[in-house]
Structure 1
Amino acid sequence: MLLGCHAVAHLLAGWLSPKADAWMRSLKGMRPAQLRFLLVFARRLRMIFFVILVWILAAIMLEVTWPSRSYLIVLVANLTTAWLVIAIASRLIRNRLLRKVVQWTALIVATIAILNLRGEIEMLLDSISFSFGSVRLTALLVLQGIVTLALLMLLANWLSKLVHRRLQGVGDMSPSMKVLTEKLVALALYVTAFFIAMGAIGFDLTTLTFLSGAVALGIGLGLQKVVSNLLSGLILLVDKSIKPGDVISLGETFGWISSLGARYVSVVTRDGREFLIPNEDLITGQVVNWTHSDDNVRLDIYFGVSYASDPHQVRVLAREAAATVGRVVSRPAPVCHIVGFGDSSIDFILRFWIRDPAQGLTNVRGDVYLALWDALKRDGVEIPFPRRDVHVFPEGAQAQPSGIVD
């Protein structure tokens, strides 16, 4: 009979699955979470039909015969119902590894409870024990502690995400203080969850004091960099020297900060590469923060014109050319100065300001160079370049002196 229920459920699921997929594809305006919820049920139609048919069969068997003959069918109905509920409920957990752990743990616990094996399992686990100082730990206590710790960690993770969402809506708090608050709250929640789980299994927390020496030894041997990066990260958050969204350059790395971690800072460059820079490097090294106190950034470009050009006219053309580029701000206005008289050119520097360094520096320099090129060409201003004259003498002829006297 159970095999018959399975065959009928398989046929019903095969007939209804294409229709359910077509119906879900036709839905408009639904949120992704709602579609995922419907998809969970659509992928388990066979099991849903099997559970329904088994319960119908169990009800019929209870009516037409004595309970001892329907015991197995009722047991299968209870087991499959529990498994179906767990399979659907576990899909609410996004993390794949965590979902598998919770799913299998719940399946084992539900199966033991339905089969009435709890007493025997508890006695078996309680008989497996070992001593840790004055504390006697059993396999049952360890299992309870693991389950308690997992549930408390899930609760701590949910609360930390809730705090993160609430802090994002606080407008009068700086990004650095938001990150610092999130890290401190998450650390406090996870530490509290750990100690509660340890206390739940009867572990005397005062016995952990002897671990302080081992921790100090570990720090002295190999955790200096880790602790240094953790402390450096707290310093960066407190002094607000950098924050998410800032444009920085450190050595050859130029980009904007996407996130502040406990051990490193994520910097995304213009070409899409993401550098994970240790916090200690940002504390001890020289960092250029282009947007620390002001978004305005001044850029310089150098160029030269021939000595036949009017330098006063060139300065005006350069300022006007820079002002035509969209990202160049009008206040402060672009300026142009003579910086020297070269061997073959009058050398100038053109300075201008932008307010969006995160959009790139090389591209705006290139736009200003093009605008300057167009302006100089339009007004006939020559941009000099090195020239070399090559004289070819006939064979046997002697080159004439150039008349240059050293």
Structure 2
Amino acid sequence: MMDDALRILIEQFDALWRTAELWWRNMLLPSRVLQIVLILVVLAAAWILRRLTTEPMRDWMRGLDRPTWQIRMLLVVNRRLQLIWFVVLAWAVTWILRAIYVFPSKYYIVDMAATLGSAWLGVIFAARLVRNPILRTVVRWGLWVWVTLYLLGLTDETTAFLDRLALGFGEVRLSLLTLIKAVVIVAVLFVVARFLSRASGDRIRRNEDISPSMRVLAVKVLQIALYGAALFLGLEAVGVDLAGLAFLSGAIGLGLGFGLQKVVSNLVSGVIILLDKSIKPGDVISLGQTFGWVHTLGARYASITTRDGKEFLIPNEDLITGQVVNWSHSDPFVRLDIHFGCAYADDPHLVRRIAVEAAQGVPRVLSARAPVCHIVGFGDSSVDYILRFWITDPTGGLTNIRGNVFLALWDAFRAHGISIPFPQREVRMLGEDAVAVAKD
């Protein structure tokens, strides 16, 4: 079997060599040599024009105030100026030759070069729709090869050659042509799925009738469904038997289930969080020593941004199993308490009234839910008070609003002559007689 496959492969290469030899002989005809020389002249002229126009165009681009996507597109044009100039000059030469000669054989090669250049240029701009740089490069080169073979009329011969390069696994035959088709079709379907998921995801995120957690869940389900459909449709399109892969995929899934228990647990916990709406983007939460607001809810973790700019990635399982304080779960109202003490000589009724008025004058403190002040005890050196007030924007910070209320209390007490005592100790120096009595 291996000898037969090697023999067939040698015969195919021999046929290709004879075809290439015949094509080369045809290229040596005088009319075609002239066209090849014209193409080389056009290439040289395009290279010179690219050198003359690249820097002036970049200087012009630096002074533009345009959206980012327009600047990026102009940058792509700037990087492909040689090919653009080649296409323009090649079509100009083609039109001139058409006007001079009647027979297409006199300008066929130049016309083909102009057509190929235009197709390659179109592929470059079409490939920009693919965001991933590696995938974009693969798509660009794949389309270049396919367009070239199609325009040269070599698709049937190339298809037959690739189909003969195959491996057999029992009743399954896997050819190089099938593999290339699978990669191309799946890649194209993935690009379409990504475009649809982004467009639909943006519409879902802008829908105010859906809660934030359900928006995230809907986007995740949509992405999984689209990418899964793209994969299965791509494999089905090239003739892969999906039923035969059922047992293998089940075994792989079982192995992954044991090996990736934590990952699966985080995925399931993320779905539970989105369904029960206990935590949603924008909530202010506390988990252990971490305090901040929920930036995003991912499939594996939640992104928590703190007031100092740090971003903590908390696994979803910790949000399910740990004790989480959600400051804005059911309503945005948050009550804060601060403790202070005043001297015994100060009127407690006056202290309470001044403390409430001082808190009401601080921005962010709600007047609808008026602050209250209570006596909570008689200390060693002061009467102890607690001041309670409400805010609705915990994302603005808690420490800063407490500090502002303390400053307001300081100014108000100082203006009304109310003192804030501190512990004092009295030390008495005993004489020698008292020391002797103490020793006895």
TM-score using structure 2 length: 0.83
- Alignment correspondent of 1:119: 156
**Shift, 1:24, TM fit:** 5.0
Give CA-to-partner distance per residue, 1:70-98, whole Å, 9 cap, x none. Answer: 55434433332222221223234333333
Give CA-to-partner distance per residue, 1:111-164, whole Å, 9 cap, x none. Answer: 222333323322332122233453322111111011111111111111111211
Give the gaps of 5 or more residues in structure 1.
Answer: none
Pairs aligned (count): 400
Residues 1:11 and 1:278: Cα distance change in structure 2 (over 3 Å) = same
Q: Equivalents in 2 of 1:226, 1:400: separation in Å?
A: 76
Amino acid of the structure 1 residue aligned with 2:303: S
Q: Secondary structure at the match of 1:276?
A: strand
- Alignment correspondent of 2:204: 167
Amino acid of the structure 1 residue aligned with 2:172: V
Which residue, 41, 46, 65 being the options, matches 2:82? 46
Q: Secondary structure at the match of 1:164?
A: helix
Q: Equivalents in 2 of 1:403, 1:236: separation in Å?
A: 74
- Alignment correspondent of 1:221: 258
Amino acid of the structure 1 residue aligned with 2:44: A
186-195 vs 95-104, which moves further: 95-104
Q: Equivalents in 2 of 1:217, 1:186: separation in Å?
A: 23
127-136 vs 350-359, which moves further: 127-136
- Alignment correspondent of 1:154: 191
Give CA-to-partner distance per residue, 1:165-214, whole Å, 9 cap, x none. Answer: 22133221111111111111211111111111111121221112213542
Given that 2:130 and 2:191 are in contact with CA atoms closer than 8 Å, whether structure 1 keeps it comes out as no
Q: Secondary structure at the match of 2:240?
A: coil
Q: Secondary structure at the match of 1:383?
A: coil
Amino acid of the structure 1 residue aligned with 2:89: L
- Alignment correspondent of 2:408: 371
Residues 1:289 and 1:2: Cα distance change in structure 2 (over 3 Å) = same
Q: Describe how 1:85-164 pairs up with structure 2 within 5 A.
A: 85-132=122-169, 134-164=171-201
Aligned: 1:320 with 2:385: no
**Shift, 1:19, TM fit:** 5.2
Which residue, 343, 356, 371 being the options, matches 1:306? 343
Q: Equivalents in 1 of 2:331, 2:367: separation in Å?
A: 16
Which residue, 286, 299, 304 being the options, matches 1:262? 299
Given that 2:269 and 2:320 are in contact with CA atoms closer than 8 Å, whether structure 1 keeps it comes out as yes
Q: Equivalents in 2 of 1:8, 1:77: separation in Å?
A: 14
Q: Describe how 1:270-281 pairs up with structure 2 within 5 A.
A: 270-281=307-318
Q: Equivalents in 2 of 1:38, 1:131: separation in Å?
A: 49
Same amino acid, percent of matched pairs:
52
Residues 1:80 and 1:133: Cα distance change in structure 2 (over 3 Å) = same
**Shift, 1:56, TM fit:** 2.6
- Alignment correspondent of 1:235: 272
Residues 1:109 and 1:403: Cα distance change in structure 2 (over 3 Å) = farther
Which residue, 43, 61, 64 being the options, matches 1:6? 43
Report which of the two has the higher share of helix: 2
Q: Equivalents in 2 of 1:90, 1:84: separation in Å?
A: 10
Q: Equivalents in 2 of 1:388, 1:7: separation in Å?
A: 96
Amino acid of the structure 2 residue aligned with 1:108: V
Given that 1:126 and 1:139 are in contact with CA atoms closer than 8 Å, whether structure 2 keeps it comes out as yes
Residues 1:219 and 1:11: Cα distance change in structure 2 (over 3 Å) = closer
**Shift, 1:229, TM fit:** 1.2
Q: Secondary structure at the match of 2:128?
A: helix
Amino acid of the structure 2 residue aligned with 1:288: V
Q: Equivalents in 1 of 2:401, 2:355: separation in Å?
A: 15
Q: Secondary structure at the match of 1:348?
A: strand
Q: Secondary structure at the match of 1:94?
A: coil
**Shift, 1:389, TM fit:** 5.4
165-174 vs 296-305, which moves further: 165-174
Q: Secondary structure at the match of 1:336?
A: strand
Give CA-to-partner distance per residue, 1:308-352, whole Å, 9 cap, x none. Answer: 222222111211111111011012111111111222221111111
Amino acid of the structure 1 residue aligned with 2:150: A
Aligned: 1:287 with 2:324: yes
337-346 vs 246-255, which moves further: 337-346
Q: RMSD between aligned alpha carbons?
A: 2.7
**Shift, 1:21, TM fit:** 4.7
Q: Equivalents in 1 of 2:224, 2:166: separation in Å?
A: 32
Q: Describe how 1:180-191 pairs up with structure 2 within 5 A.
A: 180-191=217-228
Give the gaps of 5 or more residues in structure 2.
Answer: 1-37
**Shift, 1:232, TM fit:** 1.1
